[in-house]
Structure 1
């Protein structure tokens, strides 16, 4: 059953690479744009969908969780292979996209924080010993 988790990862990876290539072509770049990230999102959505529909056995879920955890080092290794100096020399697109990404994350975090319900600020009242009629005689 663990092999099914690996198969799900492989399908998500192939779809992510394909969509990343299509996105690169649409942007006029001759490279994959975000394929690994798209694959990770597909894996997360597939796992959540399968859990909701009760189609994910425990062993398969363990395989998906393992590969989901392994994806982070893979993404870091792939990002380390990119040549940032040539990207910055190529134009301001890299700098503008970095600023846009940081700004988008800041706005998303602010929106999520504002959507959170405030906790009740009322203190919980605890009865005092002298309010208890059974303990009033003990004083």
Structure 2
């Protein structure tokens, strides 16, 4: 059921916020450091892990997929509430975090492009129920 995907997201969000708060304490910053990003990375890892072991149903995957698609608007809304100028005046942690995230993303993309040999992805199996529903609408 889709609610399991939402529950999985909630668990990952709580874990991400906790780890982000702990990073903030370790770095001496009085705020969450990367909690939402950590939560989404955890969600991706858990989804891949359960999918590989056959533990994720189609409905659960739909719930996770829905919230994965909602990630960008949520992050944009959260970023709009932060005061970037105050963060920059507060110390070099914000600048270091930004540089670190850009470098990490660049290295990750380079790594993935090197290990991916250019084979096309396999075709997804067609869903008979969605085809029947779309035929009935025309």
Q: Would you call these one fold, judging by a TM-score over 0.5?
A: yes
Task: Note closer, same or farther for the CA distance 1:109–1:15 as it changes in structure 2 (3 Å cut).
Answer: closer
1:49: Cα distance to partner?
A: 0.7
CA RMSD of aligned residues (A): 2.2
Report the Cα offset of residue 12 of structure 1. Answer: 0.8
Matched with 1:30 is 30
Distance in 1 separating the partners of 2:55 and 2:96: 42
- CA distance in 2 between partners of 1:54 and 1:116 (Å): 23
State how far apart, in whole Å, the 2-side matches of 1:63 and 1:18 are: 23
Residue in 2 aligned with 1:18?
Answer: 18
**Count of residue pairs the alignment pairs up:** 119
Correspondence 1:1-139 to 2 at 5 A: 1-114=1-114, 117=117
Moved more, 3-12 or 105-114: 105-114
Q: Secondary structure at the match of 2:77?
A: helix
Deviation at 1:92, TM superposition (A): 3.4
Distance 1:103 1:45, change over 3 A: closer
TM-fit CA distance, 1:116: 5.5
Q: Go from structure 1 to structure 2 and tell me whether the alpha carbon gap of 1:113 and 1:52 turns closer, same or farther (over 3 Å shift).
A: closer
- What's the TM-score, normalizing by structure 1? 0.73
5+ long unaligned stretches in structure 2: 120-138
Q: Which has the larger radius of gyration?
A: 1
